[in-house]
Amino acid sequence: MALHFAAGGSATEVASAGFNLVDVQYIDQVNELPDGMKAMVWLNEGEGVTQSFIDKVTPFLGNPKVYGFFLVDEPDPTGQYHTQVDAEDLKAESDWIHARMPDAKTFITAMDMGSAENPDFSNTYNYDNTHIDLFGISAYPVRTGTDTVDYDMIDRTVAAAVESGIPVSQIVPVHQTFGGGNWTTNTGGKYVMPTTDQLQTMMEHWDELVPSPEFDFAYA
């Protein structure tokens, strides 16, 4: 069964929108999931196997409804944009989880350290230095400040991820399903909510590049 992940909202809301992988923080949320749905446990932990990490993970160990653990969103290996997260700390976390729940997947979203024209994930994170199973790769081309929608941004971003040591089999497509807000893009514009046709074109690019992902992620 293909898995489709959406963060935010209740399990009922997520399921009614056609998703079957939902983010959770508490064990009660997992136990209340309807049949056919799986849980991705949001940890927001990037400092290694601390007591905080252990306390968050332990209640979920062995639960058959748990698909995996979302360690941290776009960790920064440099400390330039967010708190610095070292690969060895992520590796310790992933190894700790795998030792106690071998079938569980560990997951992060990857921060692009380059630009829209030249994405770059080099010297960041991959399986070799973190033992993380899956990496969310994002490219959000629907934005202001450009004459046309640069759908090839998706192609360049996937190529950069593969070049950095993340194989296609470990890439999770992160789809742009948002717009508005105060975020400024790396091309100086604002993000725009994609139309149905624009979303379809983006998904066609992803389908060509990553034809059989473990799951995909609608980011909103």
Residue 131: pLDDT band (50, 70, 90) is: very high
In the prediction, which pLDDT does 156 show? 98
The Cα 144–Cα 8 span in angstroms is 26
Q: How many other β-carbons are positioned within 10 Å of the β-carbon of residue 216?
A: 22
Residue 1: pLDDT band (50, 70, 90) is: low
The Cα 209–Cα 155 span in angstroms is 7
Residue 12: helix, strand or coil by DSSP?
helix
In the prediction, which pLDDT does 9 show? 80
- 105-109 and 134-138 beta bridge pairing: parallel
Q: How many other β-carbons are positioned within 10 Å of the β-carbon of residue 143?
A: 23
Residue 155 confidence (pLDDT) above 90: yes
In the prediction, which pLDDT does 181 show? 83
In the prediction, which pLDDT does 8 show? 82
62-95 pLDDT, tens digit per residue, is: 999 999 999 999 999 999 999 999 999 999 999 9
Structural domains of the chain in order of their starting residue, each with its CATH number: 3-219 (3.20.20.80)
Q: DSSP letters of 98-163?
A: HHH-TT-EEEEEPP--S-SSS---TTS--HHHH--SEEEEE----BSSSSS--THHHHHHHHHHHH
Residue 135 confidence (pLDDT) above 70: yes
Do the beta carbons of residue 58 and residue 48 sit within 8 Å?
A: no
Residue 45 confidence (pLDDT) above 90: yes
The Cα 15–Cα 34 span in angstroms is 9
- The C-alpha R_g of the chain, in whole angstroms, comes to 17
Closest CA to 49 of 85, 108, 89, 84: 89
For the chain, the residue count is 220
88-109 pLDDT, tens digit per residue, is: 999 999 999 999 999 999 999 9
Q: What percent of the chain has pLDDT over 90?
A: 87
- Residues paired with residue 176 on neighbouring β-strands, in sequence order: 219
Q: Mean pLDDT, to the nearest integer, of 13-40? A: 93
